């Protein structure tokens, strides 16, 4: 028919890009499986977690091995007390056995950091477990301990997840410790940068000529800055002020202080 062309049918699963992606997915599965402990090859007596390689304590091992028997005994006791003898009401809350598992080995404790409670997880014999895991998975323990143990580096965030405030004075100390390569003379005709807050704080309001108004203060500052720029031969002045961005450490600190005031 006129205007019709034969359209070939190409299966997407045989395209080179799809085949490459499938191979990468298979490699990830194989890598994950190989990183786990093979229960058919492990010959030690300790009870290990099959994925993490964590060694179970004696209490955890005992509870895990007797979990089925204790659960069956609890079921028989409930049926006898609530259905046969009716010594206990059927709708009474059942008590948990509270068996110890691998999760119980990581206890959450509360610690106060700068007056605030922070949840901390303390593992018993953590270094020994890391040594066992590193030996089984063939991981260099020295390289493993070089990474941060927390969810975020403490140099960037606090334990509560807030951004860490920096001390601007440390930058000044770092610059002063550098070899002296300072420019002796400021090149004439350069840009004259003025720190607005530092300049305003140096103004003595009581000694202002004329009236004590914001307009007069602005005129005095403008004359001083222009005279300084002319003395250096600068034709361009940058009057740098403090900025308060919505997404910044300063704004987050102000919001936190405001919440504290309302309390």
Q: Model confidence at 248, in pLDDT bands (50, 70, 90)?
A: confident
Which of the pair, 82 or 251, is modelled with greater confidence? 82
Within a domain: 20: no
User: What pLDDT does 124 receive?
Assistant: 47
Please give the full DSSP string across 136-182, using - where no structure is assigned.
HHT--HHHHTTS-SSSS-TTTB-TTSPBPPP-HHHHHHHHHHS----
User: What pLDDT does 118 receive?
Assistant: 53
Q: What is the mean pLDDT of the chain?
A: 75
Which of the pair, 200 or 121, is modelled with greater confidence? 200
Provide mean pLDDT across the span 59-82: 88
Within a domain: 164: no
Q: Residue 261 pLDDT more than 70?
A: no
Q: Residue 79 pLDDT more than 50?
A: yes
Within a domain: 127: no
pLDDT, tens only, 109-153: 555 555 555 555 544 456 667 777 777 777 777 777 777 666 677
Name residue, tokens 């940068």: 193
Q: Residue 262 pLDDT more than 50?
A: no
Provide mean pLDDT across the span 20-32: 85
> Which residues have C-beta within 8 Å of that of residue 256, sequence separation ≥ 6?
162
| Biggest alpha carbon–alpha carbon distance for the chain | 103
Q: Model confidence at 242, in pLDDT bands (50, 70, 90)?
A: confident
Within a domain: 222: yes
Choice among 17-21, 24-28, 257-261 with the minimum mean pLDDT: 257-261
Q: Model confidence at 10, in pLDDT bands (50, 70, 90)?
A: low
User: What pLDDT does 121 receive?
Assistant: 53
| Counted domains in the chain | 1
- Domain containing 232: what range? 187-246
Q: Residue 1 pLDDT more than 70?
A: no
User: What pLDDT does 113 receive?
Assistant: 52
Q: For the whole model, what pTM was predicted?
A: 0.32
> Which residues have C-beta within 8 Å of that of residue 89, sequence separation ≥ 6?
82
Within a domain: 106: no
Within a domain: 52: no
Within a domain: 49: no
Provide mean pLDDT across the span 74-98: 85
Percent of the chain with pLDDT over 90: 0
Within a domain: 217: yes
Q: Model confidence at 30, in pLDDT bands (50, 70, 90)?
A: confident
């Amino acid at each position: 028919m006129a205007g019709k062309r034969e359209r070939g049918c190409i299966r997407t699963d045989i395209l080179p890009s799809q085949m490459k992606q499938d191979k990468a997915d298979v490699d990830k599965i194989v890598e994950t499986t190989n990183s786990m402990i093979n229960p058919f090859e492990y010959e030690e007596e300790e009870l290990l977690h099959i994925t993490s390689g964590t060694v179970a304590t004696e209490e955890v091992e005992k509870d895990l091995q007797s979990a089925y028997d204790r659960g069956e005994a609890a079921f028989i006791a409930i049926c006898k007390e609530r259905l046969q003898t009716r010594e206990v009401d059927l709708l009474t809350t059942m008590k948990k056995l509270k068996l110890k598992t691998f999760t119980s080995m990581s206890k959450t404790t509360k610690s106060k950091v700068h007056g605030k409670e922070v949840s901390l997880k303390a593992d018993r014999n953590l270094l020994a477990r890391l040594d066992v895991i590193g030996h089984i998975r063939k991981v260099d323990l020295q390289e493993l301990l070089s990474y941060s143990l927390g969810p975020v580096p403490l140099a960037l965030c606090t334990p509560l997840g807030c951004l860490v405030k920096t001390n601007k004075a440390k930058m000044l100390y770092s610059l002063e410790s550098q070899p002296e390569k300072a420019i002796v003379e400021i090149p004439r005709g350069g840009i004259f940068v003025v720190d607005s807050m530092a300049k305003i704080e140096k103004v003595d309001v009581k000694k202002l000529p004329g009236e004590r108004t914001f307009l007069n203060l602005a005129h005095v500052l403008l004359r001083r800055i222009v005279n300084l720029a002319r003395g250096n031969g600068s034709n361009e002045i940058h009057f740098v002020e403090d900025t308060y961005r919505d997404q910044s450490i300063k704004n987050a600190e102000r919001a936190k202080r405001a919440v504290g005031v309302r309390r």
